[in-house]
Amino acid sequence: MALGLTIGIIAAVVVVLLIYLYNSLIKLRMRVNNAWAQIDVQLKRRYDLIPNLVSSVKGYMKHEKSVLENVTKARASLVSGTMEEKAKASNQITQALKSIFAVAENYPQLKANENFMQLQEELSGTESKIAYSRQFYNDSVMGYNEAIQVFPKNLFAKLFNFQQKEFFEAKGKEKENVQVEF
């Protein structure tokens, strides 16, 4: 009887522990997914802002068609693809925007345009939000990936098919110049 009780208690403790471990993994995974949603929101926001920028700039920058085409092209490439491709496209947009704003320096009338100034502020805000959401996402991924590789959680991770998550980063050359200042 006493033996049965002991075994029962131990079993109960183990079950509670397992539930706790499982839930902690679920929570970490949810955080990664939420963090990804944040990046998506910001990428979408920038995606929506770019046409406004192009149309407000077009009239002024008659001689710099290629700069505008670059940003439009980069914008189009963002729509689909793997995470790495998205990260790459995102960095390209950042670069293209940067050159637009650099060129804009030569057009005092444009720079004084109220609408343009607001767009610039919005875009630079979105740009830093993308950087921050990426930072939070990558931190969350790191925490999650670490958790599913450490004993005893790794056993669970295998059992319930918790898979490693990908970092949001462009490998190779595109990786530089993440910090932007317009």
Which parts of this chain interact with other proteins (CB under 8 A)?
A: 31, 35, 38, 42, 118, 121-122, 124-126, 128-129, 131-133, 135-136, 140, 181
- Report whether 132 contacts 39 (CB < 8 A): no
Instruction: Between 80 and 179, name the residue whose CB sits nearer to other proteins.
Output: 179
Min dist CB 81 to other proteins, Å, is 23
Min dist CB 128 to other proteins, Å, is 5
Min dist CB 108 to other proteins, Å, is 21
Reading the block at residue 120, the tokens are 């610039």
Q: Determine the Cα–Cα distance for residues 116 and 57; give it in Å rounded to an integer.
A: 8
CA distances from 44 to 39, 83, 98, 107 (A): 8, 15, 18, 28
Min dist CB 28 to other proteins, Å, is 12
Instruction: Between 16 and 41, name the residue whose CB sits nearer to other proteins.
Output: 41
Instruction: Between 70 and 140, name the residue whose CB sits nearer to other proteins.
Output: 140
Q: Determine the Cα–Cα distance for residues 84 and 148; give it in Å rounded to an integer.
A: 22
Min dist CB 133 to other proteins, Å, is 5
Min dist CB 134 to other proteins, Å, is 9
Instruction: Between 99 and 135, name the residue whose CB sits nearer to other proteins.
Output: 135
The angle, 0 to 180 degrees and rounded to 10, between the axes of the packed helices 65-76 and 83-104 is 160
Reading the block at residue 156, the tokens are 């669970």
Q: Determine the Cα–Cα distance for residues 112 and 40; give it in Å rounded to an integer.
A: 32
Q: Determine the Cα–Cα distance for residues 156 and 151; give it in Å rounded to an integer.
A: 9
Instruction: Between 107 and 136, name the residue whose CB sits nearer to other proteins.
Output: 136
CB atoms within 10 A of CB 127: 21
Q: Determine the Cα–Cα distance for residues 3 and 87; give it in Å rounded to an integer.
A: 58
Instruction: Between 95 and 135, name the residue whose CB sits nearer to other proteins.
Output: 135
